[in-house]
Structure 1
Amino acid sequence: MATYHLSVKFGGKGQAANHADYIERKEKYRDRQDLEYSAHGNMPEWARDNPSHFWQAADQFERANGSTYRELEIALPRELTPEQRLELVQDFVRQEAGERHAWSFAIHNPKASIDGGEQPHAHIMMSQRVNDGIDRTPEQYFRRYNARYPDRGGAKKDSGSLTPTQQKEQLRELRKRWEVKHNEHMRKHGFERGFIDCRTLKEQGIERRPEVHLGFEAAGRLDDAQRHDIMQKRSEPDYSRHLEQARTVGHDIREWLDTPVKQHELVRRLQHDVAREHGFDMRDRVSRQNRTEPERVKSPSRGFSMGF
């Protein structure tokens, strides 16, 4: 079953160069072996041959409260070949960045922690500044835009001042464009299945819960029997088994508390999503655990997502 995933993130001042190294597997990330392809485009003249210069300049000269990049992270279909996935990403980048936004993208294809299959996805970094053809130095490029004298100011940002409602609608439209582009390429290569739908399960009229997302750390702690059981449940037609997956992994409430997650996230998700389904009083167990082992729930989060 095809999985829809598109996330949008923004990077602040000082984050762009390191993130570009991360997605392109450079510098301290060069030992990672999952890079399938990387590329860049629409760079100003001074960064045309080395996109790292662009992201470094963004970190150095962008305003303190400004964003240095917008990133789209998208899941790619396993069914396509690496060449076909590249074609899909290039097509989507052309559509979203046009010819005036500097961009860098990379395709990663690590092995999935649970089923061992391919897990292709793309990271697309785009500058919100419009390359309008005016020759600017790196420092000037990231200055505030001068509407009266454009050649005296920086490159204009096209993000504008959007209301929360407008931002939500903009994201909805973006998610739909990715759905259309993905499915267009699947059909182009002869597939009759594997299409994605940007709507929520509720909007699609599907009465099931989203699958539990364990995150990299938790998935890495599963043994072979647990992985096999999860894979078996994924093949079942009754999707109510997704709640059962949490119990199958073998974590009771005390084991969840041993993982580096925030207390309020744990309590909110487990009480609301697990206790209600399994008919036992999780609240009392959490309260007892909080009294006996408070230091464990205060350990800092390292990105672990329980994904209920």
Structure 2
Amino acid sequence: MAIFHLSVKTFSRSKGQSATASVAYRAGEKIKCDREGRTHDYTKKGGVLHSEIFLPPNAPSWANDRQQLWNQVEKAEKRKNSTVAREFEVALPYELDKEQRIALVQDFAKQIVERHGCAVDAHLHDDDKRTVKANHHAHIMLTTRKLEQDGFTDKTRELDQKQSGEIVYWREQWAKTVNKHLWEHGIDKQVDHRSLKEQGLEREPTIKMGVNASALERKGVKTERGDYNRAIKSYDPDKINKHLTTQFKQAEELYNKLQFIEKRLPEVKRDIADKQPSLYRSLDDMGISTAPPEERTIHNEQSETTTDRSSSRMVEQVTPERNSDERERRLLSVSKQESHKLGKGHTEEVGSKDSSISSTTSGDKLSDLQTNLSISEKRNLIKSFNEHIDKQAKKLLDEKLKKIREHAKLLSTEIEDIKSEKPLIFGKKEWQEKLDIKVEKYNRIREYHNYIESQGVTKEIRTDALRNYYLERPDAYDSIQAMDEEVGAFDKEQAQRELEQRQKYTVSRRIMLSNDKGMDR
């Protein structure tokens, strides 16, 4: 988009600057400085799109020659600290083409000549060749003295930095000139010379990028200054206020819904109280330990309603095949030796310590439970099953870590014994090798223990817990799996219905908008 930029610079001999060198660089030309006795050659400099001199009506003819003009400027100044030239550096809208940008600068330069009676040397630069995004700008050089028929006369003191009122005037004039040319070419954009505070905008001003940061940004490398400016430009108070208003309306609707739910809580609590006994019986029949039903409170009811449905789904789909023949083959394939590898000891200990896993559950009872329970009760049942499996997996992990520690303890004892048998003279080499082997083995076991502990309950350990439960209670496992599939199908169907409703709403909304537009015509 078009941006506003107008900065004023001065060129002074006290800074080691000269008017001839400055103009030669901006014009990309070769100019000999009579005062310095040297030539400034910038003919190899690229990016100069257009250069043009603008003079008062009664200016002498020699002023049309750039070299003579700026040598006369240097000659007119006698002091060693004289200000020899001024410059307006302006940004040009990239929405305008080459000829339109030239016309814009010509218009502005003529205004300067008319107001101050000085000579103006304007140079349009275009960095298209070295930048990704065009950097169109102009250097408008001004003489510090008025130019009349006999040459340079009085200083234009009104443009001194200390008297900034005139600078403010030219900033405003540049904005007006740019906006006029944009409007003439049908471009619906404007620039503003005022500060954000003067414009009444609650936004932080951007910071100057600088040469290095700008070069990096043009190459596609993001910089801290660029990120800061982008964040400021993306700030939109109207958009934020609209978003906050929408959120407030949504919160108000949610509050009204909660008020309605709270009024119906006594009825809901009675319904839950009626269904609780069957749910707890179902958990007991599945071999999952349950605590006695707690008294229901409004806080408990509301917190349970916000539980994510996805948490009730089974995490791993490592279920055995539903076909009884395939399941029988799978069970037969687990030999005694493999059972020990998978954690037979873990299974026996868990089975002996966990009184919640019963050994008598008939398939008929499970089938009845699956039929009689509602979707929400089945969802809670699956959640409790997953929590039960998580506990068993944690026990398997603890037992595994315990065995590793016991092994490490034995090695530590062996290491101490070897250290106590250190030979005095003969056999030191063999003794050291034996000790090193034990220490290395101990360190590997300790690292393995730390790794297993840091991993926590992995998918493999949880799979072992599921497998142990399946081997103990295949019917109960199948029933849970069937419930999980049923709940999943129910959730999928609900999601499909919601999608269809949204699509219907979208279509109806478009029809309404289309009808409204037709009525407006």
Determine if the TM-score, normalized by the shorter chain, exceeds 0.5: yes
Which residue pairs with 1:213 in the alignment?
A: 208
Choose between structure 1 and 2 for higher RCO, CA contacts under 8 A separated by at least 6 residues. Answer: 1
Q: CA deviation at 1:102?
A: 1.4
2:5 aligned with 1:5: yes
Q: Which residue of 2 aligns with 1:184?
A: 180
Separation in structure 1 between the aligned mates of residue 228 and residue 77 of structure 2, nearest angstrom: 50
Equivalent of residue 18 in structure 2, options 15, 20, 38: 15
1:162 deviation in Å? 7.2
- Residues of 1 paired with 2:101 and 2:216: CA distance? 30
1:281-292 counterparts in 2 under 5 A?
Answer: none
TM (norm. structure 1) is 0.62
Aligned-pair CA distance for 1:96: 1.1
Amino acid at match of 2:196: L
Letter in 1 for 2:66: P
**Deviation per residue, 1:124-176 (Å, 9 max, x gap):** 11113222323x5xxxx4xxxxxxxxxxxxx1223259794xx1222211111
Superposition map of 1:287-302 within 5 A: none
SS at match of 2:198: coil
Is contact 2:158-2:166 (8 Å) kept? no
Contact 2:7 2:88 in 1 (8 A): yes
CA drift at 1:184: 0.7
1:105 to 106, 122, 128: 122
Q: Is 1:55 the equivalent of 2:53?
A: no
- Which segments of 5 or more consecutive residues in structure 2 lack a partner in the other structure? 31-40, 238-521
Q: What is the rounded CA distance, in whole Å, between the counterparts of 1:163 and 1:219 in structure 2?
A: 27
Deviations 1:14-65 (Å, cap 9, x if unpaired)?
A: 5100000111012443223211100113285363342122212322441213
- State the distance in 2 between where 1:161 and 1:41 align: 18
Does structure 1 retain, via aligned residues, the 8 Å contact 2:126–2:135? yes
Measured against aligned partners, the alpha-carbon deviations of 1:182-207 in whole angstroms (never above 9, x if no partner) come to 101111111112x1000011211222
Equivalent residue, structure 2, for 1:284: none
Residue 62 of structure 1 aligns to which amino acid in structure 2?
Answer: E
1:35 to 48, 55, 65: 48
What is the TM-score of this pair, normalised by structure 2?
0.38
Match in the other structure for 1:94: 110
8 A contact 2:27–2:123 mirrored in 1: yes
Hey, what does 2:138 align to over in structure 1? Answer: 122
**Are residue 169 (structure 1) and residue 172 (structure 2) matched?**
no
Per the alignment, do residues 2 and 59 of structure 1 end up closer, same or farther by CA in structure 2, a change over 3 Å counting?
same
Q: 1:203 to 1:62 in 2, by over 3 A?
A: same
Counterpart amino acid of residue 237 in structure 1: S
- The residue type equivalent to 2:63 in the other structure is R
Matches within 5 A, 1:171-250: 171-193=167-189, 195-221=190-216, 224-226=220-222, 230=226, 234=230, 237-238=234-235
Identify the range of structure 1 (72-81 vs 94-103) with the bigger mean alpha-carbon deviation: 94-103
Structure 2 distance, partners of 1:77, 1:10, is: 24
Q: Do the aligned partners of residues 230 and 156 (structure 1) sit closer, same or farther apart at CA in structure 2, a change above 3 Å counting?
A: closer
The answer to whether the 8 Å contact 1:11/1:70 transfers is: yes
What's the Cα RMSD here?
A: 3.2
Tell me: CA distance 1:53–1:209, structure 2 relative to 1, closer, same or farther (3 Å): same
- C-alpha contact 1:20 1:52 (8 A) present in aligned 2: no
The structure-2 alpha-carbon separation of the partners of 1:214 and 1:230, relative to structure 1 and needing over 3 Å to count, comes to closer
Aligned counterpart, 2:29? 26
SS in 1 for 2:124: strand
AA of the residue aligned to 1:30: T
Flag the 1:163–1:219 CA change in 2: closer, same or farther, 3 A: closer
Residues 159 and 167, structure 2, Cα contact 8 Å, conserved in 1: no
Q: Counterpart of 1:75?
A: 91
Number of corresponding residues:
218
Helix, strand or coil for the counterpart of 1:73? strand
The question of whether the paired residues in 2 share the 8 Å contact of 1:102 and 1:127 is answered with yes
Structure 1 residues 112 and 205, CA gap change in structure 2 (3 angstroms): farther
Which of 1 and 2 has greater Rg? Answer: 2
Q: In structure 2, how many angstroms separate the alpha carbons of the residues matched to 1:45 and 1:86? A: 25
Aligned residues of 2:54 and 2:113 also touching (Cα < 8 A): no
> Counterparts of 1:61 and 1:206 in 2: how far apart (Å)?
46
Aligned amino acid, residue 132 of structure 1: E
Partner of 1:157: 155
The DSSP-based 3-state class of the residue aligned with 1:33 is: coil
Structure 1 residues 68-91: Cα deviation after superposition (integer angstroms, max 9, x where no partner)? 112111101000011001111101
